[in-house]
Amino acid sequence: MQTELYLVRHGETLWNLEKRFQGQNDSPLTENGREQARILGKSLQGISFDALITSDLGRAAETAGLINSFLNVPVFLTEPLLRERNFGIFHGLKREEAEKKYPREAAMIWSGNADAVVPGGESRNQLRQRVLRFLDDLPVKYPGKRVLAITHGGVVNTAIRLVLGIPFDAPRRFKLPNTGLSIFVYEKNEWFLRAMNITCPLKDRQIYDDTV
């Protein structure tokens, strides 16, 4: 019996374009981000989903609503485990602003140490525990079902690393575009990655690829 997880990063936001740390704060989707969500929704028509689960942060919830306007998934839930990493004192700042305002804390976080905690926020390993709990719970709650989940770049990155066994202090060597779709399959008591960060063509539109 297989459980399938279609995991999607939210659409482009204003703070994505400004390269500000969003974390568990929010900024609105741009019109480009809304169009990304609509195009993905159209591309997923014809696939039957048993549940749609979204992060409870506004940018993910709006992306989920736009996608679901094409799919009409009957079960539509919010899940705090799917929130982006909490960036604490860095929220709303650009990287260079964070480095200027909090040089010691920024140097600690940029070091790559997965246990380094953003003051007022989370470490990579704390995010890892949240995502692991979500992945562990999903096959129990939805055995043999297909679930669509809308989340954030940090969560997608974490899920891929967990399933592929990539160390959390290793540099990221894969892209995480807005509304990129990754497909995971749970079988024989293990998660497998079937596809990673599929994107739909957007005429003359840029795909933002950062995870702040």
Write out the catalytic residue numbers. 10, 84
For β-strands 76-78 and 146-151, DSSP reports them as unpaired
| Helical spans, DSSP H, in 111-194 | 124-141, 153-164
The token pair at 65 is 């609503």
The half-sphere exposure of 176 on its side-chain side, counting CA atoms within 13 A, is 21
Contacts of 128 (CB under 8 A, 6+ apart): 114, 158, 161, 162, 168
